[in-house]
Amino acid sequence: MTILIHPFITSLIKIKVMKTLIIYISILTIALLTACKKELNQSPTLQNQGTSSQNVIQTDKQQSGYAANELLIKFKKGIIEQIKNKALASITGTIQKRVLTRAMEHAGDNEGFFIVRTPLKVLDAVNKIKALPEIQYAEPNYIYKNTGVPNDPEYVNGDLWGMYGDATNPANPYGSQAGEPWAKGHTGKFTVMVGVIDEGAMYNHPDLEGNIQNPVEFNGVPGVDDDGNGYVDDVYGYDFYFHDNTTYDAPDDDHGTHVSGTIGAKANNGQGVVGVCWNITMITSKFIGPGGTGSLADAVTAIDYITDLKTRDGYNIVATNNSWGGGGYSQLLYDAISRANDQDILFVAAAGNATNNNDVTPTYPASYDLPNIISVAAITSTGALAGFSNYGATTVDLGAPGENIISTLPGSTYGYKSGTSMAAPHVTGAAALYASLHPGATAAHIKAAILKSIIPTPSLQGKTVTGGRLDLSKF
């Protein structure tokens, strides 16, 4: 799997500050393991052997794109423990964790899946166990990577080109045209919410403070699980990489902070940048850790966390931003995105930074064939398809600003990044802005409005489904 983040300007030299002795495992995992509620203790094989896929001691080399000696297994419904034990014994497998999220249960799945450690090489173990009749599916624990590259002054001085339009001042016809609805007073509503599934974000950054929160917990009682979702004091969201409620870990969380700023940085505070949607509530669902990687298991949990917040708390969550990718096809990830679709949540995904034709070689999660996915390519300030951007006439929906994008960074600073990671949040912000102007709009309605309003763009003709770039001026 390729790294989808391509820095334009290196904003920080990453210095690892770890919370626990997990330092050596960050390369191995990226996803969401913690929303599990039950453990099987009926036998030594099915006993919970650990709390994180990060605790793997490698017995073979880490393979490209997935964690070594680790696979994810989902048994068919109703399989008894004796049969499960026999299946696991065939790969000398031991359960590390059972993952059963509230969103799975809400969708009628009371089984969940297992993170299993094996001394066998991963693909050998997957091929061996998936042939058994009791297995619904087995797959590697894929590793995903983020997809970016390195009177608000940055808007006024001409740096924030991704927000401009042909009628703004400063002007750039290849920007998102966000400045035009702003001029009409269309700047969003705090009742409209999005999930940012990524690294953490600096929630107390001057341009983000107040716009990142889980409202029930933010206004709740410290030490109490106010919304009953199984996570105490998830005030700003939850960290599924370190398995705690501290969603911002400086200085590593630069990518998530940058993405969040593009979606919803505050306006008219006399400093820094502005986001597409000034008035918005963002919830952090962190599954990517130091080094910019996270695991499939944690990704599933992070997605389900946002889905459950909508069903549990009645939040008006209209979209999630997903500026990450990698790995092969995963039924587990497909199912998690499908559960979000069932709850009317758009899944805005970065198309990838490998100059790849996604029609020929799919890039996940952007290439899953699900109705709630919007796959986004990156364009430059001159309207060209960015040199690094993936594309696909049938699999990538539209282009959006993704090169030399300035946004918020840790340490209350600002900096530039490039990548489809930077393009996707322009579209996520657009979804929130549209939803604020059309209360009750469904995910399908919002997606159709975004794709219908594009500006035809020569560089995107034959390269994207719409052949055009994001245009908020019609909102």
10-14, 78-82, 166-170: lowest mean pLDDT where? 10-14
Is position 255 annotated as part of the catalytic site? yes
> Quick one: what percent of the chain has pLDDT higher than 70?
85
pTM greater than the 0.75 cutoff: yes
> Quick one: what percent of the chain has pLDDT higher than 90?
76
Structure tokens, 247:
């969603």
**Residue 26, pLDDT score:** 35
How far, in Å, are 195, 212, 284, 288 from residue 199 at the CA level? 12, 14, 8, 5
Q: Which domains does the chain have, with CATH numbers?
A: 23-143 (3.30.70.80), 153-469 (3.40.50.200)
Q: Using alpha carbons only, give the angle 252, 256, 258 rounded to the nearest 5 degrees.
A: 100
What is the average pLDDT value for the chain, to the nearest integer?
87
Residues 266-284, mean pLDDT to the nearest whole number: 94
Is position 421 annotated as part of the catalytic site? yes
**Residue 137, pLDDT score:** 95
In degrees and rounded to multiples of 5, residue 42 shows phi and psi of -70, -20
**From 6, 52, 176, 198, the catalytic residue:** 198
**From 255, 367, 426, 473, the catalytic residue:** 255
Is position 60 annotated as part of the catalytic site? no
The pLDDT-based confidence of 21 (bands split at 50, 70, 90) is: very low
The three state secondary structure string of the chain is CCCCCCCCCCCCCCCCCCCCCCHHHCCCCCCCCCCCCCCCCCCCCCCCCCCCHHHCCCCCCCCCCEEEEEEEEEECCCCCHHHHHHHHHCCCCEEEEEECCHHHHHCCCCCCEEEEECCCCHHHHHHHHCCCCCEEEEEEEEEEEECCECCCHHHHCCCCHHHCCCCCCCCCCCCCCCHHHHHCCCCEEEEEEEEEEECCCCCCCCCCCCCECCHHHHCCCCCCCCCCCCCCCCCCEEECCCCECCCCCCCCCHHHHHHHHHHHCCCCCCCCCCCCCCEEEEEEEECCCCCCEEEHHHHHHHHHHHHHHHHHHCCCEEEEEECEECCCCCHHHHHHHHHHHHCCCEEEEECCCCCCECCCCCCCCCCCCCCCEEEEEEECCCCCECCCCCECCCCCCEEEECCCEEEEECCCEEEEEECHHHHHHHHHHHHHHHHHHCCCCCHHHHHHHHHHCCEECHHHCCCCCCCEECCCCCC
Distance between CA atoms of residues 305 and 314, nearest Å = 13
149-158, 173-182, 297-306, 420-429: lowest mean pLDDT where? 149-158
**From 52, 421, 453, 459, the catalytic residue:** 421
In the numeric block, the tokens 């089984």 are attached to 111
